Amino acid sequence: MVRPAASRALALSLFVLVATTARPDAAPLPAADPTAHGDSGTLDEVLVTGERPGPGMWRVSKNGHDLWILATLEPLPKQMIWRSAAAEARIEASQVVIAPPLVTTDIGFFRGLTLLPALLRARKSPDGLTLEQALPHELYMRWLALRVKYLGSSSGSGDEQLRPMLAALDLYQHALDTTGLTDDDSVWNTVEKIARNQHVPILPVTIKLSIADPKISIKQFGAIPRNAEINCLEKTMERLETDLQPMRQRANMWSLGDVHGLQSAHYPDERLACLDAVFSVPELRDQLALARLAIDEAWLAAADAAIAKNETSFAVLSMIELQQPGGWLDKLRARGYAVQEP
């Protein structure tokens, strides 16, 4: 399952399926100490901990009915516990809570097991090259330095065998973990728990990707050009080299409820380069474009129905996709709703 921050994760659904497959060939690595690399200037933002309120909510209204939207952010501090009395009150007063859009596939557990050999092969470079062989030397040395910094000094042969896109994802996830950040669903999980405790119905918004022949889809994933994958890895490394400190600042802004700071913040996203790589395969591009359209329509239909039927509703969406030009707020305004910022 993939819960989007919405379209980026949707387009990478097959990518994540392959990326999260177990890695029996990779040796466990000791955790790295971010203070042990002489890089304190890039990580001097102290992450907030304990209970924090997060930002205020957007109010979407029509005909006296309101939809309150809590905007989430990725990543957030691992040691933060989100607790907002205002949000809890809105959830308790709501007649329905709209879940964030969720993408699933129709690959069952046992069917997935039969695909395991193909998935493991898809994790490796299709031409058999190691990262050292596939990357330009300067880029490889940058990757090696970041790998040692965030995964530790030990070397697992599986890391060298990874295709560049998966090496990018692996490096990014370890960097978040090492620097005290997480991109888990803790905020939505808390909202869901509050709603269930208060007996407020939860309205799922789920799109199922139908994969007629998963082995063909895996083969299509293998057809992504190497140069496109290398660009994805390079942009990911560039973000880790330049954006970890601002990333921590944005995480703190969210935790402390600084909406103005979040609205004026810059949000670099290396995953756009990774999307371009996925979209370079026509079959994947067409399937994922249709799924993107379907999930937009499904969430907007859920919002329309909730606002029309209920005096008060509640929803959780990605802050980046909520505010971006053409994002959820613009779509709601275009449908005639009044939008009030926090």
- DSSP lists the bridge partners of residue 104 as 208
Region 217-236: mean pLDDT is 84
Quick check: 297 and 58 in contact, CB under 8 A? Answer: no
pLDDT exceeds cutoff 70 at 14: no
Structure confidence at residue 50 as a pLDDT band (50, 70, 90)? confident
Region 235-249: mean pLDDT is 92
pLDDT exceeds cutoff 50 at 189: yes
Question: What pLDDT was estimated at residue 324?
Answer: 86
pLDDT exceeds cutoff 50 at 13: no
pLDDT in tens, 126-165: 778 899 999 999 999 999 999 999 988 655 556 888 889 8
How is the beta sheet containing 65-72 ordered, strand by strand? Answer: 202-203, 96-98, 312-318, 65-72, 58-62, 338-340
Encoded tokens for 273:
């380069």
pLDDT in tens, 78-126: 989 998 999 999 999 999 999 999 877 655 555 554 555 555 566 777 7
Question: What pLDDT was estimated at residue 330?
Answer: 96
Question: What pLDDT was estimated at residue 103?
Answer: 76
Question: What pLDDT was estimated at residue 34?
Answer: 40
Nearest to 284 by CA among 234, 218, 203, 208: 218
Name the least confident of 109-113, 270-274, 275-279.
109-113
Encoded tokens for 101:
């859009």
Region 200-214: mean pLDDT is 82
Region 171-189: mean pLDDT is 92
Region 175-197: mean pLDDT is 93
Question: What pLDDT was estimated at residue 120?
Answer: 57
For 229-334, list the strands marked E by DSSP.
312-318
pLDDT exceeds cutoff 70 at 52: yes
Structure confidence at residue 212 as a pLDDT band (50, 70, 90)? low
pLDDT exceeds cutoff 80 at 43: no
Encoded tokens for 144:
């090696």
| 3-state secondary structure at position 95 | coil
Question: What pLDDT was estimated at residue 5?
Answer: 47
Region 184-189: mean pLDDT is 92
- Most confident segment among 37-41, 256-260, 265-269, 288-292: 256-260
CA distance 308 to 306: 6
Average pLDDT across the chain, whole number:
81
pLDDT exceeds cutoff 50 at 295: yes
Q: For a pLDDT cut of 90, what percent of the chain falls above it?
A: 46
